[in-house]
């Protein structure tokens, strides 16, 4: 149930980004000179690459989830790792009017938030096949990186509970 709610939120954000992107692409381009035309062309190319990456990311997540439900945990792990790799390799944004430190923070938070769904699925699959060390590494990654404004204590307890559960299974 929690995965469905998270999935619904992420899907809504994705569709909002797609709609905004399509609106931007559909707007008439001001081509005062060759440089402006090239910049607009690059923006369309970058948008299409982002759309392709998002589509591939969700495809791997869906496959990971389907494999998990069918009990094929090793294939599930492969798919979740592919989804995470896509997010980790997406280039960050770069806005001229934002400091480098702030841009680095924004890009880090963006990469983290896009991996959350995959990380939880990966932890579950790793736990099912007894790869506890790697599951713990992913729990620790979530503890270091995931932020839920206003719900830090809840998140801390949830992740610590997951960690304790995995440690018990190890012994």
Instruction: Render pLDDT for 26-85 as a digit per residue (tens, 0 to 9).
Output: 544 444 565 565 555 666 666 667 667 678 888 999 999 999 999 999 999 999 999 999
What is the rounded CA–CA span in Å between residue 90 and residue 111?
Answer: 8
Q: Is the dihedral of CA 135, 10, 106, 156 positive or negative?
A: negative
Top-confidence residue, 126 or 146: 126
Which of the two residues, 16 and 131, has the higher pLDDT score?
131
The C-alpha atoms of residue 100 and residue 97 are separated, in whole angstroms, by 9
Q: Which two tokens stand for residue 46?
A: 């970058």
Q: What is the pTM of this model?
A: 0.66
Rounded distance between C-alpha atoms, residue 163 and residue 136, angstroms: 6
Cβ atoms within 10 A of the Cβ of 151, count?
Answer: 10
């Amino acid at each position: 149930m929690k995965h469905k709610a998270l999935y619904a939120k992420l899907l809504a954000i994705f569709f909002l980004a797609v709609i905004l992107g399509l609106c931007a692409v559909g707007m008439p381009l001001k081509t005062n000179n060759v440089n402006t035309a090239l910049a607009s062309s690059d923006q369309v190319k970058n948008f299409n690459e982002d759309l392709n990456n998002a589509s591939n990311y969700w495809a791997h997540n869906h496959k990971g989830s389907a494999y998990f439900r069918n009990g094929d945990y090793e294939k599930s792990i492969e798919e979740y790792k592919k989804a995470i790799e896509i997010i980790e390799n997406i280039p960050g944004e770069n806005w001229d009017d934002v400091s480098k430190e702030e841009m680095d923070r924004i890009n880090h938070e963006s990469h983290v938030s896009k991996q959350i769904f995959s990380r939880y699925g990966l932890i579950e699959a790793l736990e099912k096949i007894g790869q506890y060390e790697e599951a713990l590494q992913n729990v620790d990654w979530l503890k270091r990186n995931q932020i839920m404004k206003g719900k830090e204590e809840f998140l801390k307890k949830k992740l610590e509970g997951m960690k304790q559960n995995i440690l018990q299974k190890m012994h």
